[in-house]
Amino acid sequence: MHLIIGLLIIGVAIFVLYKLSASNGAAVEPPAGGKSDRPFAFLANGLIFQRRAGGAVEQLHSLYAQEAADKRERARDRHSWKEGTSFNIAAGGGMRSFKAADKPVQATSVARAANGDLLYFMSDDHVGGLFRRVAETGNELRVMLRQHLHLSDLNPAPLGDRVAASVRQSDGVSNIVMFKDDGNQFREVTGGDTVDTSPAWVLDAPKKLLFQSAGLARDPQGYIVAQGHASIQMLDMDSGSVSTVLEDARFDYLRPRVCPAGNLHFIRRPYEAPRYGAGSMILDTLLFPFRLLRALFHYLNFFSLMYTRKPLTSASGPAVQADMKNILLQGKRIDAEQALRNERPVQGVPSLVPTSWELVRRDRDGAERVLASSVATYDIAADSTVVYSNGRGVFVLEKNGSARHAYTGDLIGDLVAAG
């Protein structure tokens, strides 16, 4: 017993020392420079928000999304008679809900065109559409609407009428696509069993395109079992060739962007290789009887609902919804509850990502400088000002290196700088 207590004390001491050393070795947070009133736009929980210079943050409502919501409501009214009947029983034995039979329309990407218009993509389970909100009038224009289209990482060219984006396929592959800003000439420019995302234009080389790429590993049945580290690649659109710009098996290099001065910016984070060792095998073995009993219970519960319309337990309640504390940031699943409890805040704003997620600037000579830590996403304005987020707050990185707090929100996704 004394030996076990001693080992526990030693383990706690090692953990405390490790946390202290990690915090001491973390990237230095840029000095605070007061409150910023800079305009920007962002996504949060599938909704689009915008702040004008010196104004309050407001949600941008989509006419298309409202029409889709009205359509779902009419469909729910048509199926309401099925509530409380055998038609209300799902195949797994639970109760089927007709209140939300379809996934609501949500925005997956937002970007600002050179003329100030906002481009955004919205989709549900069946249809995806690209829309343009005119800066002068606020009117929403429908650019394209296609079945089973899933776009992300919209990036309009700073010069010309082209738009680059990432398109997700049904088999888990993502490719870089390019099209005109009116939706025509839609074509894929990368291929392979990879996840190609975050296209970025090179200002002094309009025929070249940067993007991040990660390879996929599949089992003999074709299912994805792992995703490799993300690297930054360069596509030459004249020759169709792809060359590596940055790659290191220890890191993920994410969201490349080139500022007006020609410097490359990117997010660097440690790459976590998937592990399935002896510990996972032992855990699966121990949990197998409980999982088997759970499957048997749902099987019997289904027949009880079918023939008696009564469940085996009184704790059925409403349909189970997704656990929103688990979110995706830059392709990585984040436990938001744990992150807010453990990660270091930025200027008092809780972070959803660790300090090891660093925003790095690399000049033409290859010299690198860490601009900020705990960076979940960022964007660069036309005047080279960097706007970034730690998942909960928005910060403006001034040219003198100071960071100014601009906004505190909830689950901030795509971020668009202005100015």
Q: pLDDT by residue (tens digit) across 200-212?
A: 999 888 899 999 9
Q: What is the distance between the alpha carbons of residues 165 and 208, in angstroms, rounded to a whole number?
A: 14
Beta-bridge partners for 386: 380, 397
229 band by pLDDT with thresholds 50, 70 and 90: very high
Rounded (to 5) percent helix, strand, coil in the chain: 20, 40, 40
Residue 282's H or E segment, with its range, is helix 278-308
Beta-bridge partners for 60: 48
Q: What is the distance between the alpha carbons of residues 360 and 257, in angstroms, rounded to a whole number?
A: 10
Beta-bridge partners for 261: none
Task: Report whether 112 contacts 118 (CB < 8 A).
Answer: yes
Burial class (CB in 10 A: 0-12, 13-18, 19+), 150: middle
Task: Name the CA dihedral angle for 196, 201, 206, 211, rounded to a multiple of 10 degrees.
Answer: -20
Q: Which of 144, 115, 109, 110 is nearest to 128 (CA)?
A: 144
Give the torsion sign (CA, 19, 21, 26, 30). positive
- A 10 A CB-CB count for 273 gives 10
- Global pTM reads 0.76
Beta strand pairing call for 224-227 and 231-236: unpaired
Give the Cα-Cα-Cα angle 223, 276, 295 (nearest 5 degrees).
70
**pLDDT tens, 165-196?**
999 998 889 999 999 999 999 999 999 999 99
Domain layout of the chain by residue ranges: 251-270+325-419
In the block, which residue shows the tokens 């008696």? 308
Residue 45 CA to its chain's centroid (Å): 10
278 band by pLDDT with thresholds 50, 70 and 90: low
Those residues with Cβ within 8 angstroms of residue 223's Cβ, 6 or more apart along the chain or in another chain: none
Q: Quick check: 322 pLDDT over 50?
A: no
**pLDDT tens, 101-151?**
457 889 999 999 988 999 999 998 889 999 999 989 989 999 999 999 999
> Bigger pLDDT: 117 or 33?
117
221 band by pLDDT with thresholds 50, 70 and 90: confident
Which runs of E-coded beta strand occur in 240-376? 242-246, 251-258, 264-270, 326-329, 332-335, 358-362, 368-373
Beta strand pairing call for 386-389 and 377-380: antiparallel
Tell me the CA end-to-end span of the chain in Å, nearest whole number: 65
Task: Report whether 264 contacts 362 (CB < 8 A).
Answer: yes
Task: Report whether 393 contacts 407 (CB < 8 A).
Answer: yes
Tell me phi and psi for residue 45, to 5 degrees: 55, 40
Whole-number pLDDT of residue 68: 82
In the block, which residue shows the tokens 């481009």? 119
Both tokens assigned to 276 = 């399935």
> Bigger pLDDT: 297 or 162?
162
Which runs of E-coded beta strand occur in 14-126? 32-35, 40-44, 47-51, 57-60, 106-112, 118-123
